[in-house]
Amino acid sequence: MAGARQHQIADRIKVIVAELLERRVKDPRLGFVTITDVRVTGDNQHASIFYTVLGDAEAIEGSGAALRSATGMLRSEVAKRLNLRLAPTLEFFLDAVPDTARHIEELLAKARESDADVAARAEGAQYAGDADPYRRPTDEDDEDE
């Protein structure tokens, strides 16, 4: 049951923080931020919030700074809305999943190109030796046995 409770709290924190970022945080450094995941410790005392930012490195840096400066306000609002005895500490982490996915897509594209190149070279190729290099039993071999 504790796992279900943690999951419930994590989902609720995700919704609350996303809503607060949209409506209450007015920091000009905050770009287009998406909360991708929230993980809560077993004692509900710490929440790790993963986010992505649409934009370049400057937008990512600015959004990270804006999130760090708004952490206190976000924590107090989360505590109010969750009605928990102790407010969990919030820590923001830039989510690496989009970069990893982009890298995997690039690797898959290279593999497809390589496969297409190999298939193109093999199209007109012929065997170096016989078409069927394996020895087949003949009638004479059957009689010897």
Question: Could you read off the pLDDT of 24-55 as tens digits, one per residue?
Answer: 888 778 878 889 999 998 888 899 999 988 88
CATH architecture of 2-96: 2-Layer Sandwich (3.30)
What confidence score (pLDDT) does residue 112 get?
94
User: What type of residue is 6?
Assistant: Q
- Per the CB < 8 A criterion, the answer to whether 28 and 19 are in contact is no
Q: What are 18's two structure tokens?
A: 């996303």
Residue 109 — very low, low, confident or very high, per pLDDT cuts 50/70/90?
very high
Whole-model pTM?
0.68
Structural domain boundaries of the chain? 2-96
Question: Tokens standing for 122?
Answer: 């093999």
Q: Return the pLDDT at 1.
A: 47
Q: In 3-state terms, the chain is what percent helix, strand and coil (to 5)?
A: 55, 15, 30
Q: Tell which residue, 23, 16, 21, has the closest CA to residue 64.
A: 21
